[in-house]
Structure 1
Amino acid sequence: MYRNFDEIEYDLERLDLERQIALEELKGLKQEVKEDLSPYNWLSTSISFVKKYGILYLIKKILK
């Protein structure tokens, strides 16, 4: 497997960097989830839903 300590140190350093990258990605995902679940985001989604289907409902009523 390993021929000397330099190879071991290289792998350990690489694995440490990969771990740090993974932790930073998790922090970013945590922030995205927090923003997605915020009340403001839910409210804006609800309003856009009501607008979309409200307009369709009005058009349907007018055309009848």
Structure 2
Amino acid sequence: MKTYQDIESVERDLKILNLERQIAFEEIKALKEEYKQDLKPLNWIQSGLKIFGKLGGMILLKKIIK
């Protein structure tokens, strides 16, 4: 528990806490937008195509080596 000697230190700490709260809120908003982008169907399709492309390349390479 912190004890304060004067009103200036209380006000300073309140300003600091308010700024920290605002920063945390902006970080949450950024995460929300990031998740929105990640959950779009186009991103799912692109991820699936990348996986299938790698898988297809490995199968093709395996057939060439045999």
- TM-score, normalisation: structure 1: 0.90
Match of 2:13 in 1: 11
Query: Structure 1: which 5+ residue stretches go unaligned?
Result: none
2:43 pairs with 37, 41, 44, which one? 41
Amino acid at match of 2:24: A
For the pair 1:25 / 2:27, whether they are aligned, the reply is: yes
Deviation per CA, 1:11-58: give whole Å up to 9, x if none.
111100000000000011111111111111111000011111101112
Q: Distance in 1 between matches of 2:47 and 2:20?
A: 36
Question: What percent of counterpart residues are identical?
Answer: 47
Match of 2:56 in 1: 54
- TM-score, normalisation: structure 2: 0.88
Deviation beyond 6 Å, 4+ runs, structure 1: none
